[in-house]
Amino acid sequence: MLSVTRIRQDFPILKRKINGHPLVYFDNAATSQKPQIVIDAIKNYYENYNANVHRGVHTLANEATMAYEESREKIKKFINAKSTKEIIFTKNDTEAINLVAYAWGRNHLKKGDEILLSVTEHHSNLVPWQILAKEKGAKLKFIDIDKEGNLDLNSFIKNLNSKTKLVALVWISNTLGTINPVAKLIKLSHQNGSLVLIDGAQYVPHQQTNVQKIDCDFLVFTGHKMLGPMGTGVLYAKEKILEEMPPFLAGGDMIREVYLEKTIYNDLPYKFEAGTPNVGDFIALGTATTYLNSVGLLQIRDHEKKLTLYTLKKMSEIKNVEIYGPSDVNNRGGIVAFNIAGVHPHDVASIFDDYGIAIRSGHHCTMPLHQRLKLTASCRASFYLYNTTDEIDCLLNAILKVKKVFGVK
């Protein structure tokens, strides 16, 4: 079991008070808070060995390069990739998906081909494919969900066909918390001859990830949701696929030799990492994986399940509160989307903030999903390793206060 009291001491921001109340941070699906060890890693880089990587032979450059590549090794192990050649550093999940759309999609898709998505996708895993499909004359197909927000397997099988070149799916919905059975979907997709991209932004920070076991072709995730700095993201892709892909961006470091007439590209993973990278923050991202491993991903998952179960049980006892997503906590992450009857989510979030409670309100970058659910917006509370049931009680009490303010029975 997690020692949440001890863990909370590692996060300096949790000592803050908001409007005279202790901070209750339930916006982890948007970004996580950072432990002191991650903050110190950034500070240490800039204070002691700030230099560019891969380009110098002096001491600072060597130290920076070594720490930077050690971080890549840590991330490789964190998701159990075969090689660091398969770990591409990007600035976020969104850039990673765009990299695949540009470098793989524009070279493999043609008119009439299909890309299979779900109605639950984050805009980052929808808009790049819309642009690509329009450019190439390809078609987007969509997997539906059932009444609880679970992916409809029959809809998946119905839409998967010989024209499907890519299946791009979220692992955990950032709105409903639904955990999709990606290993099963990947197997079916590969039997169909389709490649698979998995958006792991909400999964990788919270549960053990094994890319070799699920056998995905691409996996994207972002550092700022897993205790790391903003501006850090990762694309995992199978080495064979990356070798066949052209560069996404051109410039320094993605080259081996340059002549006036031609350029010979660098080896993996550097072929896809043009320009000066975000060195200090990627070093800190490696530190974040070390911290998560020290706590234990299995323990984090178990803790979040307990928080989610407690929230669903207690919230369901409050009248005129509608909860979205699967009822089975084994099939959902630590995300609870809800609405209070007759109260706009922005009003709910504003009143919550009066009591120091940070939640997200709006469409959470899933407008098509909200349209599918016939909702304008929703409230979202999302949990992580430093949250407690006492904090959830604060949220539940805040719901009662909102109902009182707006006269909801």
Give the residue numbers marked as catalytic: 365
Both tokens of 366, joined, read: 């899933």
Q: Which two tokens stand for residue 2?
A: 């997690």
Residue 279 tokens read as 């060195």
Q: Which stretches does DSSP call E strand in 15-163?
A: 17-18, 21-22, 24-25, 87-90, 114-118, 139-143
Q: Per-residue DSSP letters for 80-106?
A: T-S-GGGEEEESSHHHHHHHIIIIIIH
Distance of CA 41 to the CA centre of its chain: 22
Q: How far is CA 126 from CA 80, 211, 321, 371, in A?
A: 27, 22, 30, 15
By C-alpha distance, which of 100, 54, 61, 74 is closest to 242? 100
Residue that has been written with the tokens 């630590």 in this structure? 334
Q: Are 205 and 221 in contact (CB under 8 A)?
A: yes
